[in-house]
Amino acid sequence: MKKELLMASALVGTMGVASVAEAVTATFSGNQRVGVEFDSPTGSTDTNAVIEQSSFAISLSEVTDAGTTIASSFHLSNEADGLDNDTAITLTFTDGTKLDIFNAGNAAAGHDVSIPGTAGEEGVTVTTSNNAPSGLDFFGGSSELGVEWHSAADFMTDGLTVSVSASTDSGAAGTATARLDSHWAIGATYVTDAGDTAITIGTGISAAENAKTGTALTSDEGGYHIGISAVTGDLTIAVGFGDGDDVVDKGSVGAGNASTQVDGEVVKAGVKYVTGDITLNVGVVSGSAKDSITMGTAGTTEDAYDKTSASISYAVASGVTAILGYSTVDSQDEGTADGTDGSSWYIGANMAF
């Protein structure tokens, strides 16, 4: 026992750390979101359901003697039904640069321009085989074994920030389905003023390689997106475009299932206007894709997804917002009208802390 204590003391002294652990600084936030959704699917009867979503986020950080901030975070969500670690460790250096280590993510996705859309939780469901994209960064991905570097503000020129990420094989067993093997990505955001208007331009590009036994994929994951947002007083107008290739159902998905290759593009646009305690949102999304589950053969028939949404939010009290939202979706799967699309209403409230 004495030998073990001596060894432990020597290790602590060698590392130059305190023998008594002290607690890091912790902050928390969260929300409770409750509402009712009324769905009117195209091919079936109307339904309604109470939607309750809760989240609780913890942020941990501490500053070393050299001035480097070491941080991590996680959150619990009943919507995700589990624990989520956004990044394992984030190091923020004295020059303003940051380095995410493990679960670092994709640098292209981190520079999406925010496009206004409904603030409600109404969800119009389309058939699961419809792979038309609805997000600007639908392509590509990253593994847990990755890093992401973020520049300080005003990188090389005023208003510019840049991020770069890379990851490698997560170590998952190879199967007949595709598995993400490695990725790289770069993203940039530029902010400037044009008179009374604040303009934000965001763009990103990423590429990935997929590992798969048997017949090779038609193309690996990757693509690009670009968007622009203009804010004048209480009015925000934004538009974005994304184009690329994706692979869904990666990894071992079970007997009889196969990875689906997706060649798609999407356009998004939206407007937000704030007047006093009321916020008005309107957004449109138009995505299309050709998908194929036959490895080595490109898809030929198009999936389509077109969504229009709007919402009114009212600040009832500090941290409490009442929301009324509406969405309508028109979609096609393999060139045929999707009988599960339609329209949806949502009325509810969000309480944040």
Per the domain annotation, does 7 fall within a domain?
no
Can you list the positions of beta strands (E) in the chain? 25-41, 47-63, 69-77, 82-84, 89-92, 98-101, 146-150, 160-167, 179-194, 197-211, 222-232, 235-248, 260-275, 278-292, 302-317, 320-333, 336-337, 342-352
Contact present, 329 and 309 (Cβ < 8 Å): no
Q: What is the pLDDT of residue 216?
A: 63
Amino acid identity of 137? D
Nearest 5°: phi and psi at 24? -75, 170
Question: Which residue range is the domain that position 44 belongs to?
Answer: 26-352
Specify the CATH number for the domain of residue 75. Answer: 2.40.160.10
Contact 103, 236 (CB under 8 A): no
Instruction: Report in angstroms the alpha-carbon separations of 251 from 196, 231, 254.
Output: 49, 42, 9
Lookup: tokens for 162: 């840049």
Report the pLDDT averaged over residues 282-296: 86
Res 253: pLDDT? 44
Region 78-85: mean pLDDT is: 56
pLDDT at 1 (0 to 100): 43
Query: What pLDDT digit, counting tens, does each position of 92-126 carry?
Result: 999 999 999 988 888 999 899 999 999 998 888 88
pLDDT level of residue 5 (50, 70, 90 thresholds): very low
Pairing status of strand 47-63 against strand 278-292: unpaired
Q: Which of 134, 110, 130 is nearest to 284 (CA)?
A: 134
Band (pLDDT 50/70/90 cuts) for residue 79 is: low
15 in any annotated domain: no
Rg (CA), the chain: 23
13 in a structural domain: no
At position 259, the amino acid (one-letter code) is: S
Residue 3 lies in a domain: no
- If residue 5 lies in a helix (H) or strand (E), which one and from where to where? helix 2-15
- Quick check: is 1 in a domain? no
| Domains: count for the chain | 1
Q: What is the mean pLDDT of the chain?
A: 84
pLDDT of residue 7: 39
- Establish if 122 belongs to a structural domain: yes
Q: Among the listed ranges 44-53, 132-141, 206-215, which one has the minimum average pLDDT value?
A: 206-215
Write the DSSP assignment of 185-235 as a string of letters. EEEEEEEEEETTEEEEEEEEEEEEEEE-SSSPPSS-SEEEEEEEEEEETTE
Number of helices (H), then strands (E), in the chain: 1, 18
**Tokens coding 39:** 């769905």
Tell me how far apart the alpha carbons of residues 130 and 99 are, in angstroms, rounded to a whole number.
37
* CA–CA dist 77, 98 (Å, integer): 26
Tokens linked to 294: 């036959």
Which comes out higher in pLDDT, residue 252 or 121?
Answer: 121
Identify whether 309 is part of a domain. yes
* Higher-confidence position of 9 and 91: 91
CB contact set of 256 (below 8 Å; sequence gap of 6+): none
The answer to whether residue 18 is domain-embedded is no
Contact 145, 105 (CB under 8 A): no
The 10s digit of each residue's pLDDT in 260-273 is: 788 899 999 999 99
Tokens 């589950």 belong to residue: 293
CA distances from 274 to 148, 237, 270, 311 (A): 35, 12, 14, 12
If one compares 319 and 171, the residue with the highest pLDDT of the two is 319
Maximum CA extent, the chain: 76
Q: How confident is the model at residue 215 (pLDDT cuts 50, 70, 90)?
A: low
**Residue pLDDT, tens place only, 15-67:** 344 444 568 899 999 999 999 999 998 878 889 999 898 889 899 999 999 99
CB of 291 within 8 A of CB of 260?
yes
